Chains A and B, each alone.
Chain A
Amino acid sequence: MRQPIKIFLRLLSACLLWVGAPLHTPAATLHVGNGGPFTKIRPALAASHPGDSIIIGRGIYKEGNLIIDKPLFILGEGMPVLDGEFRYEILSVKSDRVTIKGLTLRNSGHSVLNDPGAIKVYDASYVTITDNILLNNYFGIYLQYAAHCIVRNNTITASQKEEHLSGNGIHCWKSDSLQITGNRITGHRDGIYFEFVTHSVIWRNIARNNLRYGLHFMFSHNNAYITNYFKNNGAGVAVMFTKHVIMLNNTFEENWGDAAYGILFKELSDCCLSGNRFIKNTTGILFDGSNRIVVTRNVFRENGWGIRIQANCMDNSIRQNNFMGNTFDLATNGTLMLNQFTDNYWDKYEGYDLNRDRTGDVPYRPLSMYSMIVERNPPAMLLYRSFIIRLLDQSEKIIPTLTPEQLIDNRPRMIPYNL
């Protein structure tokens, strides 16, 4: 008896909607500034309906915290400036399908308690943030519980001094299916920060001169970062506690310092690292507790240590890479080695190739004894390249005693790969 009534009610409401739709105004465009009907953004937001566009003209707008709680298209004309006066979070996005484009957002509030950002997305999907300039904010773009969002071509700059008092450029937390593309981030704590983010892609970003990491990854499974450029960040890039990350074609350059790494792999497993370039880092890659990572067709050039692989790593495969001009190609901290090195090009290889198959006939031991000595006794670095050290290294190469027996490349390549 009840079922037909329910169906009838549904049909009725559908009909009402059908009739009501033409009554509702089509998506409007609201102009702010530049002689438009609105001089401020807040009243325009209040007057807008879902699906409307708000076009903001050139000018400086100091309107505190603006909350966007309906699907809107917000476009800046001539890069209008929204100033947070160091007190407010500038834009809070609390609705799905919001687009923010062409704004300059500067001077957001600084607070460790609620982490204000220039743009903060709360629990929303399909938000697009493109072509904005963010200057001197605490957090730049902050996404939490977001999904299917696009952050593209933003320039994010800050000049923060201390790590614990600064925020990240693009901060993503508990999100899914994000696209972070073509952004330039400098002077923040971490350039891009991922925690509990899945199925996302980071593509063509440039992160340089950030205080801590260029890219910081934690508990974020099934992501890819491709063709990004990380230079001179305080501690390089860290990928930690994560599975199934694909890292392709990135460049890691000049990350200098004792605890700075091109990439730090901590508790990472089942990942693929290919086509990347590690240039002039103190350490190219540090492997710590990481398993089943395939490292292939990368270039390690002029690093202090090409790869530092701790004895707690297992089943990593390092193959077909070029190692050129590194002070030490490899370092490890123990005698156990459960990883596989094969088909790499090592410029320090001194063997020969009689059958001309481009593979050396004598195996190569990439770990020099002196790198073991320096590992245990860092000041000994000062003796590097002296004659006595070379003598020691040569004798160790012939009869290995200190270096792990299994650490060997049985098929060293004679000429470098064209990478």
Chain B
Amino acid sequence: MIRILKYVTLDILKNRIVIIYAVVLALFSWSAFGLEDNTSKGLLTVLNLLLLTVPLVSVLFSTIYVYNNNEFIELLVSHPVRRSMIWKALFAGLSLSMTAAFILGAGLPLLLFADPATALIMIAAGVLLSVIFIAIAFLSSIVTRDKAKGIGIAIMLWLYFALLFDGLVLFLYFQFADYPIEKPVVLLSALSPVDLCRILILLRLDVSAMMGYTGAIFKNFFGNGWGLILSFSLLLLWIWVPFRVSLQKFKKKDL
């Protein structure tokens, strides 16, 4: 497994896209913090990067990568290696390089400019989001053999989680505005990893506003130790479930 992992990681680095991704992230974050005298505005720019760009790049790059490496995968399958090993190594290689790119690109300026607790939460969220969307990419690339379709599914899933989901939730808020919906809303937000990350960061960035009545409910839920553990385990579940499903499919797939 380690050897395959090495191959995959080297291959991705040779590809240079990940390096460019890291550089672009760095450019955006450094300029965000450098141009504004006000750190909270810089944080907002990085937050937008984190919630939109990071998932998009992760999901697209990984889907295309998996499709392009079909032949390499077939070659490996013909060797005496366990199939699950191949898939896991591929996943680990992609996750490692994307995560490293994110930490080098956006993580460093965050650590330098933002206050440590906020920076750590944002880096954790970015890393988790990267890995979650790689897992989603693996799932969408195993579902269909057609590359265009696979990439389409990946983009649709990104659209859904990053944009549509919030619209749907907002719609539900208005429909059920007359009911006490604070608690269902908390549950609902767990259904999208992007939302979950956004709320975790929101509780740090807009802490004063979140101390209002409903905010306090969320703060009590997400802000205390158990809430943090719960939300991070939910995020881990978001990695584990799509990857597990894709692994099962890969094991049985007729290549």
Measured CB to CB, the nearest residue on chain B to A370 is B170
Chain A contacts of B146 at CB under 8 A? none
Measured CB to CB, the nearest residue on chain B to A257 is B211
Measured CB to CB, the nearest residue on chain A to B177 is A377
Chain A contacts of B162 at CB under 8 A? 387
Interface residues on B, range: 35 or more
- Whether B211 pairs with A385 at a CB distance below 8 angstroms is no
| A139, CB-defined interface residue at 8 Å | no
| B116, CB-defined interface residue at 8 Å | no
Within the complex, the shortest CB–CB distance from A167 to chain B, in Å, comes to 27
Chain B contacts of A399 at CB under 8 A? none
Which of B25-33, B130-138, B213-221, B233-241 has 4 or more CB atoms under 8 Å from chain A? B213-221
Chain A contacts of B202 at CB under 8 A? 382, 384-385
Mark contacts of A373-397 with chain B using CB atoms, 8 A cut-off: 1 yes-contact digit, 0 otherwise.
0001111111111111100000000
Chain B contacts of A51 at CB under 8 A? none
Query: Which residues, 215 to 230 on B, are CB-close (under 8 Å) to A?
Result: 215-216, 218
In the assembly, what is the distance between CA of A388 and CA of B161, in Å? 11
A contacts, CB < 8 Å to B: 256-258, 260, 280-282, 302-305, 324-325, 327-328, 347, 376-389
Chain A contacts of B189 at CB under 8 A? 382
Chain B contacts of A383 at CB under 8 A? 166, 169-170, 173
Measured CB to CB, the nearest residue on chain A to B41 is A347
B contacts, CB < 8 Å to A: 38, 40-41, 44, 47-48, 51-52, 162-163, 166-167, 169-170, 173-174, 177, 181-182, 185-186, 189, 195, 198-199, 201-202, 205-216, 218
Q: A381 and B208 in contact (CB under 8 A), knowing A388-B166, A389-B166?
A: no
In the assembly, what is the distance between CA of A203 and CA of B157, in Å? 60
Q: A327 and B211 in contact (CB under 8 A), knowing A302-B40, A377-B177?
A: no
Measured CB to CB, the nearest residue on chain B to A390 is B48
Chain B contacts of A382 at CB under 8 A? 185-186, 189, 199, 202, 214, 218
- A selection of 12 A-B contacts at a CB cut-off of 8 Å is A256-B208, A257-B211, A257-B216, A260-B211, A304-B209, A327-B209, A381-B214, A382-B189, A383-B166, A385-B205, A388-B163, A388-B167
Measured CB to CB, the nearest residue on chain B to A347 is B38
Chain B contacts of A384 at CB under 8 A? 202, 206, 209
Chain A contacts of B213 at CB under 8 A? 258, 378
Chain B contacts of A379 at CB under 8 A? 173, 181-182, 185, 214
- Whether A376 pairs with B177 at a CB distance below 8 angstroms is yes
Interface centre among A258, A281, A381, A389 (most CB of B within 10 A): A381
In the assembly, what is the distance between CA of A379 and CA of B205, in Å? 17
Chain B contacts of A281 at CB under 8 A? 208
Within the complex, the shortest CB–CB distance from B162 to chain A, in Å, comes to 6
Chain A interface, >50% SS class: loop
Within the complex, the shortest CB–CB distance from B167 to chain A, in Å, comes to 5
- Whether A280 pairs with B199 at a CB distance below 8 angstroms is no
Contact of A257 among B163, B182, B195, B212 (CB under 8 A): B212
In the assembly, what is the distance between CA of A325 and CA of B207, in Å? 12
Chain B contacts of A257 at CB under 8 A? 211-212, 216
Contact of A304 among B41, B169, B185, B211 (CB under 8 A): B211
Chain B contacts of A324 at CB under 8 A? 38
Q: A385 and B170 in contact (CB under 8 A), knowing A282-B212, A302-B208?
A: no
Within the complex, the shortest CB–CB distance from A25 to chain B, in Å, comes to 63
Interface centre among B51, B52, B162, B202 (most CB of A within 10 A): B202
Contact of A328 among B48, B201, B205, B209 (CB under 8 A): B209
Chain B contacts of A305 at CB under 8 A? 209
- Whether B211 pairs with A387 at a CB distance below 8 angstroms is no
Q: A304 and B206 in contact (CB under 8 A), knowing A324-B38, A325-B38, A386-B198?
A: yes
